Amino acid sequence: MNLRLIGIGAGVLIILSLPLAGAIAGPDFAGQDDGKGGGLFSTLGLSDSPRTSPTAPARPAGGAVEPGKPGPAEQPRTDSRCGPEVSSPHGVEAQTCVLVGEGRTWGRSYYRNTSGRALDAVLTMMGPAGRTVQIRCAVGAGDEPGLCETPKEDSAGAPDSYSAVAEFAVPDDEGELLLRSGSNSSVPGDG
């Protein structure tokens, strides 16, 4: 009975491998081109042959998309003004930025906490005419990079009229300040 199962299994493998062998060989087997242009290698784009798939859209040289044909969506431009990367001896690193895009402005602070304890971060975004947005972020105890970000608000002035400050502190009654990072801070040594 085992020999019968082995024989059936071998037969099934042979039957299943025939279409694959034909696809690899392609239609130009023994010099006879059937006009379908292919084989498995050209279908997967592995062939050196210049044939193209009849269902693939034509693209001009260089990979550019022809006018009128859909292409990747253009991403909106986001400008940023960032202060320097700063670090504290307590194991906190941060960089704070003001971002502007699509008529909106917001603050963002990138951080890394290697202090070994959870911290609180307060990110304050200040704009023209006394406008202020503040958000509190929990900073986990671990060295994975993270970010704290204010909500995006409609811009009400020039980008340089905004600034952002992030403060990282111990979350207890005393709230010991470990690091302050600003979007318009001068780089140490700049005078």
pLDDT of residue 172: 78
* Position 152 confidence tier, pLDDT thresholds 50, 70, 90: very high
* Strand ranges for the chain from DSSP E: 79-82, 86-87, 92-101, 104-113, 119-126, 132-139, 142-149, 153-154, 163-169, 177-182
Q: What tokens appear for 16 in the block?
A: 């299943």
Residue 94, SS3 per DSSP: strand
pLDDT of residue 19: 55
Question: Assign residue 143 a region: left if phi > 0, alpha if psi is -120 to 50, beta otherwise?
Answer: alpha
Please report, as a single letter, which amino acid is at residue 140: G
* Position 68 confidence tier, pLDDT thresholds 50, 70, 90: low
User: CA 45, CA 189: separation in Å to the nearest integer?
Assistant: 55
DSSP 8-state code for residue 129:
G
pLDDT over 70 at 48, yes or no: no
User: CA 105, CA 121: separation in Å to the nearest integer?
Assistant: 20
| Bridge partner list, 153 | 105
Model confidence, pTM: 0.58
Contact 66, 58 (CB under 8 A): yes
Does residue 3 or residue 176 have the better pLDDT? 176
Q: What tokens appear for 187 in the block?
A: 């780089």
pLDDT over 90 at 107, yes or no: yes
Q: How far apart are the first and last CA of the chain?
A: 90
Please state, as a whole number, how many other Cβ atoms lie within 10 Å of the Cβ of residue 28.
17
